[in-house]
Amino acid sequence: MKRNTIKWRIFKYNIIVIIVLIALTTIVFNIVIRLYIETDVKDQLNSIASCAESTTLRRGPDFFPREGDKRPHPRLQGGQNANRPGNIDPSKFYLSLDRSLREQASLLNADYILLDSSNKPITSLDGEYFSVPDNIVKKLIKVVEQLNDKPKQQYMDFYLDGTSYIAVIKPVHNKNNFGLGWIVIYSSMKKVHQLQLVINIILFIILVLSALIISIFSSLVAKKISAPFTSLNKHIGEIAERNFGAKIHMPVDDELQEFVSNINTMSDKLESYDKAQKTFLQNASHEFRTPLMSIQSYAEGIKYDVVEKNNASDIIIDETKRMTHLVEDLLYLSRLDTIEENYRFESLDFNELIYSCIERMNGIAIKSSINIISNISTGNSVINGDFEKLSRAFTNIMGNCIRYAKSTIYVSSKLVGGNTIEIMISDDGPGIDQNELPYIFDRFYKGKKGHFGLGLAISKNVIEKHKGTISAKSSNNGAVFKVVLRVV
């Protein structure tokens, strides 16, 4: 899997989350299980201690001498009374107590020590069977000696020879009259720790298997998420190679649907733009070729004296003016497309603007025996725009109507809805063919009497930059152009 890819980043972040979750789960689980085990162990020890206390206090008087009784008190093996005849051996008592402890269902390997009121261990004469390791006895006696002034039950943890122990110490001084002072129940935590280790191993195995499954799933999800981007990247590469025809057709999520649609739209527009550029170059070449060939022909005619010089000179001048006008239109349209700063927006009196355009075109109309009739009913409307560019837009439309009109051009305007001005410019000519309507605003598209096919393209560009609209239609009386602009 390559780095610096979406797939790798998704996979990497999922792995980090998995590791953090494993660590957090392990730590939290061990803290919780440790607290639970400690609480449960104390509960179990308390239960065992309570059972031992009950058994001891109930059966003790049958085996131990009461206060005032002359029977010797049982001691550790080798004690001062150990070999005296008549000693009472409380082995049955210890067996009964041991059996009562074993009856408690527990993970603990609990054992006990009985101490008299002098903090000395009480054992049977057969000390081997009921013997307790000396180091544990010494440790517990030392603790008991520190608790003489504490009548309540106490818990303690201690370590001996690398082994952890837990003990509960119950004082019973005031609960018997046969000399029993303390009941100490203790247990090694070895089995509990082994159980905890086994639980951790099982948990670790479960977490590792879960992490493996999640990693595989994460890799598949990352691959599925990155697949649309791979396809999109391939498609964009095709667009970069100017192959605009292919479209993206693949199921994607809602978040990418708009993105895919925009790429397809971009591809369509680039294809249209590419075709328009090719058409533009072809048409421009054609438009330049004709006057250049004419200029070349008449120049050669003058050189070889095969044409009349004055007539040839006039034609060369006319063709040069035509080329100059074409170049100016091309440069103007190019500036409109690329340089937004060329627009100098200001508040304009619409009536002044439209009357200025009518007056400018009136001289050309008179030469062609065309009458311009106006009906401006917009009051004192003010628009935000560039006077020079809007004037050129309207004069181009009027100039187009003059070329096709028979006798009259109509210019009218009115307020619509209080916030827009609707301008209608029409002629009484033959109108526009239906198959030409979609293309009349395209560059270099011209009708039978058209010049370069740039005038209406310039008008459309200017009006749209003013956030307006322009459209054309053909009526029974001729062509009709409709322009809509916003009022300030």
pLDDT tens, position by position, 356-408: 999 999 988 998 899 999 999 888 889 999 998 899 899 989 988 998 899 99
Q: Please state whether the predicted TM-score (pTM) of the whole model is above 0.75.
A: no
- Judge whether 371 and 407 are in contact, CB under 8 Å: yes
Q: What is the per-residue pLDDT across 58-73, written as a single tens digit (0 to 9) for each? A: 777 766 655 555 445 4
User: Do the beta carbons of residue 185 and residue 171 sit within 8 Å?
Assistant: no
- Residues 202, 180 contacting (CB under 8 angstroms): no
Q: Identify the band that residue 424 occupies on the pLDDT scale cut at 50, 70 and 90.
A: very high
Identify the residue with better confidence: 477 or 67.
477
Reported confidence tier of residue 86, pLDDT bands at 50, 70, 90 = very low
pLDDT at 373: 94
417: left (phi over 0), alpha (psi -120 to 50) or beta: left
List CB contacts of 395: < 8 A, sequence separation 6 or more.
357, 360, 361
The predicted model gives 70-92 an average pLDDT of 45
The arrangement of secondary structure in 254-338, i.e. its CATH architecture, is Orthogonal Bundle (1.10)
Domain assignments of the chain as residue spans, ordered by start? 6-196, 254-338, 343-486
Stretch 116-130: mean pLDDT, rounded? 64
Model pLDDT, residue 390: 93
Handedness of CA 393, 399, 405, 410 (dihedral sign): positive
Classify domain 343-486 at the CATH class level.
alpha beta
Query: Across 40-44, 106-110, 421-425, which has the greatest mean pLDDT?
Result: 421-425
pLDDT at 335 over 70: no
At residue 101, the pLDDT reads 63
pLDDT for position 221: 79
With a CB cutoff of 8 Å and minimum separation 6, the contacts of 245 are: 271
pLDDT, position 261: 81
pLDDT tier, 76 (very low <50, low <70, confident <90, very high otherwise): very low
Q: What is the pLDDT of residue 80?
A: 40
